[in-house]
């Protein structure tokens, strides 16, 4: 299992040449022998990808240290990657480290800071999508803008290519890491509206393997303007996942000209350690 963790994000372009440069005979191993506590401290100060792709190939002792649980547990501690519950320790600390280290929002422009950039408009009904300043404060105070829908259905989408984001096929098939999606939505006070979301995990042919598609959420006129969050975690979804398609949107339900429909912002898609979801 640990050997497979080496290919979490795919080897760097120089990994093959590095392998050739660091191939030594058994008789050479004594030249690289270092007390384990010193060797661990050295590895803790080396970039993590180099520990896996270069240091690990030098000799048997270095390989054992590069694969050791203590090294990656200590690296997690120093870099602040903590468990939510101490009782739920990961089975593979190196895998846990790299999932935390590489974790990020795979959606681009989720907060409307670049207008509609990176989003594919599927439906642009009524007076079309628009970007506005948030009407009610968002729980995340750094969120200042949102997308807003009109009086006919507006939907938009992003397609995430997992391999291009660094999650190679072997890793996705062997480990099937948790995939966490979140979205924030809010109604206006003076107009009824509706909200919808659909997230699909797709194979190489972009065919659906599994999807999250909850029922449409409806808001009556004179609802509060508070932000709501929807969260879903894909687990044990099987092999073959190569893409993620995120789609959301809605409309107002009173057909008022302008932008009185649902508001959405701060959407996210993340590849996460199981212990963090």
What CATH number is given to the structural domain containing 95?
A: 1.20.1280.50
Q: What is the pLDDT of residue 133?
A: 97
**Residue 259 located in a structural domain:** yes
Q: Are residues 47 and 177 in the same domain?
A: no
Average confidence (pLDDT) over 253-265: 97
Are residues 246 and 131 part of one domain?
A: yes
Same domain, 98 and 131: no
Residue 239 contacts residue 151 (beta carbons within 8 Å): no
Name the residue range of residue 70's domain.
Answer: 36-102
% of the chain residues with pLDDT over 70? 86
| Closest C-alpha among 182, 232, 238 to residue 210 | 238
Q: Write down the pTM of the prediction.
A: 0.81
**Per residue in 96-109, pLDDT tens?**
898 989 999 999 99
- Residue 12 in this model has a pLDDT that exceeds 80: no
255 vs 136: CA distance, rounded Å: 22
Task: Give the mean pLDDT of 1-18.
Answer: 37
Residues 127 and 261 in one domain: yes
> Which pLDDT band holds residue 152 (cuts at 50, 70, 90)?
very high
pLDDT band at 82 (very low <50, low <70, confident <90, very high): confident
| Residue 199 confidence (pLDDT) above 80 | yes
Give the pLDDT band (50/70/90) at residue 87: low
pLDDT of 36 reads 85
CA distance 41 to 68: 13
């Amino acid at each position: 299992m640990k050997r497979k963790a080496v290919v979490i994000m795919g080897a760097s372009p120089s990994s093959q040449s590095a392998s050739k440069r660091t191939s030594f005979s058994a008789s050479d191993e004594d030249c690289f022998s270092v007390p384990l506590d010193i060797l661990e401290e050295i590895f803790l100060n080396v970039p993590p990808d180099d520990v896996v792709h270069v240091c690990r190939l030098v000799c048997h002792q270095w390989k054992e240290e590069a694969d050791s649980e203590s090294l990656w547990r200590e690296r997690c501690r120093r870099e602040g990657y903590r468990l939510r519950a101490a009782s739920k320790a990961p089975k593979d600390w190196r895998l846990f480290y790299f999932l935390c280290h590489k974790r990020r929002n795979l959606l681009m422009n989720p907060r409307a800071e670049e207008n509609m950039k990176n989003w594919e408009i599927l439906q642009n009904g009524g007076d079309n999508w628009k970007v506005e300043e948030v009407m009610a404060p968002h729980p995340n105070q750094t969120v200042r803008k949102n997308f807003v829908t009109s009086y006919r259905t507006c939907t938009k989408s992003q397609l995430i290519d997992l391999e291009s984001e660094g999650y190679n096929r072997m890793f996705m098939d062997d480990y099937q890491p948790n995939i966490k999606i979140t979205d924030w939505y809010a109604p206006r006070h003076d107009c009824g509206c509706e909200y919808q979301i659909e997230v699909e995990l797709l194979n190489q042919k972009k065919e659906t393997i599994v999807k999250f598609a909850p029922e449409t959420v409806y808001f009556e006129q004179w609802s509060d303007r508070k932000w709501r969050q929807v969260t879903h975690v894909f687990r044990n979804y099987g092999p073959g996942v190569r893409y993620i398609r995120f789609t959301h949107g809605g409309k107002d339900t009173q057909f008022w000209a302008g932008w009185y429909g649902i508001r959405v912002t701060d959407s996210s898609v993340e590849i996460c350690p199981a212990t963090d979801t």
